[in-house]
Every structure is written in structure tokens, then in C-alpha cells.
Structure 1
Amino acid sequence: MTQAIQATIGDSEFDRDTSVRPRGAAEPGVFDADLSAGWTIISAVNGGYLVALVGRALSEFLPHPDPVTVSAHYLSASVPGRAVIRTELVRAGRTLSTGQASLFQYDENGAEVERIRVLASYTDLSTLLDEVRTTAAQPDIPPYEHCLGADAGGAPIPGSSAIVDRLRLRLDPTTAGWAVGAPSGRGEMRAWFALADGRDADPLSLLLAVDALPPTAFEMGLIGWAPTVELTTHIRCRPAPGPLRVAITTRNLAGGFLEEDAEIWDTDDRLVAQSRQLARAPRT
């Protein structure tokens, strides 16, 4: 069903492009980073990639290694280029630590401009209890080989969609009518998700996966950029190796805003991540 693993955690393109460099003892909790142009859609840097980058800085700074809940507010559009991430410890407990972080870029005068602000709690996911009680149902997605890859249709948005080359997405045909000019009218998007270089998912890449599919607005007949206002992600456990199944739904579009609720399931049929984001509806 999938290609052989080509990259392991630590040496993949995702890891290189989300790497951060601590400034050291002189500025504790401050990290330099470079936003890669490889994760853009049109001209904007993908919001999930930004959260993953900030999430990596927090995982290096906080006492616990794994995100369990991450809430991000997007304050201005990020662009490829250098950035600085400033982190702060809010509280450190025995099993949970909470921190906040902001990512800044620079204007034409060299002044810092805040792009995204994050409040997050971290834990060690390997220590969580095994008990699961859920009414959540796995998404009904056709087998991987029966879903549609990026070569199944033309580019739906004018301009750069560089992020498509970083991912291995296979869309459920019933939620891909927009790609051939026949959207269903339903606010649904489902797909298999993996990184294109074969790197298996981990908690940080789940922060990317919840925001990596085409917007549900496409299947509602609204084609264009749907910028995220706020995104909250809950990481429930470490995902098993192999492609993930992602299901996203929108129930309400009003006042120019819509919500997207995402669930991610792994190859062991576990719900490994959930998210909700508020986004602006594309302007037609």
C-alpha cells in the first residue's frame, strides 16, 4: 500500500525544515529558524507547518517532550525566510508542562513582527494510560490505491502550491469533486496522509497533518485561500508507522468564517489527533 520508508525521524525534509537553533545561555528560550518556501500554498506558509515549527521549539525548551494540546492564533501572514521564536515556561508539573511561544519575522526596517502566538501543554505520551473509551468512528475512506493523488487533476488555485510536493496525499474521490469542477456542496474532506519522503508520523508531524488537506470550503464550491484565524490540536497518542487517515468536516459557514473539525487515525485504528480551527471563508 505504501512505498518503502525512505527517511527516518531526524533526517527527513520535514525535520530539516522545522529545525530550530537555540541562542544559548545569553538568551534562554529563544530560537532562530528559517521558514522554508517548500511549505507554501499560493504565497503563504502553511499554518500546520508553522505550528509544527513552533512546537519543536517548545519541545526543546519545556521539561516534557510531546505536545498534548496546542492552541495557535495567527496574527499576520508568514513568508519564507528567517524567523525567531521566543518561548516562555508558564508552569512545570510532574506530568504536564505548559508554555507559550511567539514566532516573529522582520519588516523592511528590521523590526520584529509577530506572526503566530501559541499556548501549549506538553507531556510524555509514552506514559499515558492505555485505557480507551470512545464513541468516535473511523472515517469511511476507500483503500489507498482507490483514492486520488495530486496527479489526478489540475491545480485548483493559481500560484505556488509547493506543499503538495512535500506530502503524499490521496483524496477520497467522494470529497474531490472540486478538483474537476463538480463540488458536492458538503463541507467534507477525507484523505490518506503521509510525508513524501517516507518519514513516519510523530506527534510534531501530526500538528502539520491536521492542516494539510485542501480546505473543506473547496467542496462547498468556494475555491481560494482560506486563512486560519485560530487552530487548536489535541495529540492523543503516538501514531503507529504507516499512512494516516484524515477526515475534516465543516458544519457552519457564517459571517465569512467557517470551522474545520479534523480527526486523524493511524494504521492501528486509533484516533491519534483531533483539531478544530476557525478560518476565513475564501472570497469568490
Structure 2
Amino acid sequence: MAADAPTEVPLSEVPLSEFDRDTAVTRRGPAEPGVYDADLSAGWTIISAVNGGYLLAVLGRALGDALPHSDPFSISAHYLTPSVPGPAVIRTDTVRTGRTLSTGQASLFQYAEDGTEVERIRVLASYGDLDALPDDVRTTAAPPALPPVDQCFGAGDASEGAPPVPGSSAITERLALKIDPATLGWALGRPSGKGEMRAWFELADGRDPDPLSVLLAVDALPPTAFELGLIGWVPTVELTVHVRCRPAPGPLRVSITTRNLAGGFLEEDAEVWDTKDRLVAQSRQLARVRLSQSRPVR
């Protein structure tokens, strides 16, 4: 029946951006309310899995359509199993709706080789209207001191002296990262021992940032574990992002720090700043590291 035909969730503008196309979701018909189909792109993989920030943006788009409010304010994700490129199903549920905030949850599923359904990610989020927030800002936070873009290094430049890491690096082709040289000791075989990473962030096709691409930005830089002398995959266990305002056009500045690695886990705290020197997003994630894969800190 025509009433049950799948409906692609409309984007805010013509989807010229690869990010918009690859995070698109299709709403199923009324017989399956709150259920969306997605196709996870291989273009956003790193080492052996689909990037966690990209996945969060896919789920974020589905929740923005399912809930009465469209902008993510706070979104927390638990990564249960590694996602792979290919078809996925997202099931959303509205937990609560209010005048200024809505709360929803969502899970992303894929199918194993034997046909059984596997849950990859589970998300709980609060949504609202970023444009309705008051302008009053009182903060002691300050933008990171990054060199000009032309004095920073792209992902390809940064990896020239780094130890080879087997697997996919497809995501680097979709990002225009320019990394602060002060956080590139790992690429030269001289990790600083400081858990810091800073970079200018843009999508490679020039698409301006929005709340969904900010969900990607907090998880798009090389892991801070590299500057601690560790190499290899650093899979995310849990990631929480707070979006504070709608970003202005232009490149974002992303700063990520780690203060504690213990028991094979570390935290990463990220801040995202826009061209108007506004703190547009903050995040914290818990990630697992492989302590057997390390190189000396100098």
C-alpha cells in the first residue's frame, strides 16, 4: 500500500555533501513507526570498523526525525559490537516529550552471517531547539591555541613517519583535518607522553558544520593514545556529547585531552569551537587500548 511505502527523511537542503548522503535514513511506513533503514558507508571506516562519530550522526539523524525537536542537546551512546559497512536498522522510541526538550532512545542493528540480529549501538538522547536558547554565556573556557591552518599538517602528512597500522583509513579522505604540530610527536616516532590532540576540522567537500557533523568531529581526530606511545585501534566503549549551540560556518577547532589511562581504558575529553570563538560542543568518551602495542615515549 502507498501509505506504507518507505520515506527518506528529508535533509535541510539538497544533499550535495557526502556526509549528508552517507548519514541518510529512510523511515519505514506507518506499520513500523519509529523504525528506519540506513546503509553504513565504507567511506567512514578506520582500521577495522565504522567510525563511532559517524555512527552517532546516523542515529542522531533518525532521532531528530522521530522526536518533536530536531537538535541534539545531549546524546550518550554505548558501543556494544563493532559496526561494519552495509545495511542497518535503527529502532527509535520516544521516552518523553516536553515544551523545550524531548527524550528518546535508539538502537542500531545489523545482521550476522547466520541471519541473527546483532545490536551495535544503544543511544539515549535529549533533543531541543538550539535556535531558541538564550544568548547569555558565562564561562571560563577558552578556545585552544592552534597555529594557523597553513602551519598545521593534514592526515596524510602526519602519518608519513608514523608506524603502519593495518586496515582502512578511508575516513581520512572525507575529512580536511589540519593537526597541530605540537601533538604530532607520535608520527615522528617521538610521542610526547601527553594525552593531547588538537586540529582544525572540516569536511573535505567544504560542507559547513551543523549539530550532526559536530557529533562526528568529537571522534574524528587521531586517538590521544598515540601521544601516550600506544598504537593501533582504540575502540570506543561509551561516548557522550553535549551540543551547546549551532556552529557558525567555517572550520572548527577540536581539542582532545586524556588525563588518565588505567586498566587498559582511558577517557578522552573533547571541546569543539567555531569561528566565532564559541564552545559549540563538549564530549567525554571511554575507550579501550591495547597496552601490548606501544612505542617508547621520549
Q: Distance in 1 between matches of 2:280 and 2:155?
A: 25
In percent, how many aligned pairs have the same letter?
A: 75
- Indicate yes or no: 2:196 matched with 1:191: no
Structure 2 matches for 1:104-183, cutoff 5 A? 104-152=109-157, 153-154=159-160, 156-183=164-191
1:10-41 deviations in Å (ceiling 9; x for gaps) = 32000000000011201000000001000000
Amino acid across the alignment from 1:282? R
2:40 corresponds to which of 3, 14, 35: 35
Worse-matched range after superposition: 146-155 or 51-60? 146-155
Gaps of 5+ in 1: 1-7
Q: Distance in 2 between matches of 1:95 and 1:24?
A: 28
**1:88–1:100 CA contact under 8 A, matched in 2:** yes
**1:9–1:15 CA contact under 8 A, matched in 2:** no
**1:69–1:120 CA contact under 8 A, matched in 2:** yes
Amino acid across the alignment from 1:146? Q
Give how far 1:109 is off. 2.1
Equivalent in the alignment of 2:31: 26
Name which one, 1 or 2, has greater alpha-carbon Rg: 2
TM-score, normalising length: structure 2? 0.91
1:51-72 deviations in Å (ceiling 9; x for gaps) = 0000000001100010000000
Aligned residues: CA RMSD:
1.0
Give how far 1:9 is off. 6.7
**1:40–1:161 CA contact under 8 A, matched in 2:** yes
Equivalent in the alignment of 1:93: 98
Q: Distance in 1 between matches of 2:117 and 2:88?
A: 9
The one of the two structures with greater contact order (alpha-carbon pairs below 8 A, sep at least 6) is: 1
Gaps of 5+ in 2: 1-12, 294-298
Secondary structure of the structure 2 residue equivalent to 1:219: helix
Give how far 1:111 is off. 1.7
**1:100–1:118 CA contact under 8 A, matched in 2:** yes
**1:9–1:200 CA contact under 8 A, matched in 2:** no
Equivalent in the alignment of 2:272: 264
Q: Distance in 2 between matches of 1:282 and 1:246?
A: 25
**1:77–1:115 CA contact under 8 A, matched in 2:** yes
- Indicate yes or no: 2:252 matched with 1:244: yes
- Indicate yes or no: 2:22 matched with 1:17: yes
Give how far 1:50 is off. 0.5
Runs of 4+ residues deviating >6 angstroms: none
Secondary structure of the structure 2 residue equivalent to 1:130: coil
TM-score, normalising length: structure 1? 0.96
- Indicate yes or no: 2:59 matched with 1:54: yes
| Count of matched residue positions in the alignment of Structure 1 and Structure 2 | 277
